Structure 1
Amino acid sequence: MPSLFYSVPLTAVISLVYCTTRYEMPARIFQSATMMFVKTITGLAILYAILWYLSS
């Protein structure tokens, strides 16, 4: 369970770096990185819930 907490800052950093390489305007970078972060964390949470359900 503690290793799941590492996924939040890691996902934030990956989203920020990825969007920084694609855009130049800071406002666009943060907006896009935030959306990518939310989508990734949501996807990870759904996958975790499915795996948790299947393992019980």
Structure 2
Amino acid sequence: MILDEEIELPRKLIVKPIADSYNSYSVDEKTKRDWSGNIYLGCIAAILTIAYFT
């Protein structure tokens, strides 16, 4: 593992003008949702449901 190398991920920015303002913009970063927690919860719920009905 080489610790000196950094990989920059491209950022997806959303630039929107602010209503009723002069030359002002809102800059938001578009991020992906992290589904790992939901998948984990779904698996636990499925295991508990199977265990309950058997």
Under TM normalisation by the shorter chain, which class is it?
A: 0.3 to 0.5
Higher share of residues assigned strand: 2
Higher share of residues assigned helix: 1
Q: Which TM-score applies when normalising by structure 2?
A: 0.44
The structure that has the greater radius of gyration is: 2
Q: Which TM-score applies when normalising by structure 1?
A: 0.43
Higher RCO (C-alpha under 8 Å, 6+ residues apart): 1
